[in-house]
Structure 1
């Protein structure tokens, strides 16, 4: 829920008290798929201009 609402992966790491960033990223990075879709759409708009 944090990631989906704009909280950074680093902040999630701190909230979950993971000592290593990669632990958080490896566990939760799949949840950021929607942000990949949004950034791809943004890039697509920029290229078309």
Structure 2
């Protein structure tokens, strides 16, 4: 990854990382955080009545 100009960030198994409009996570245990960040990047507002 570093040879391609990227930076590796060691996240916990339940964290997601956002860089601009790209969202990344390690695996299925981070699905909730990944989806939350994807929706934030898309500008989605969720309200509960």
Alignment TM-score > 0.5, same fold: no
TM, length-normalised to structure 2: 0.28
More helix by share: 1
Greater radius of gyration (CA): 1
The structure whose RCO (Cα within 8 Å, separation 6+) is larger is 1
More strand by share: 2
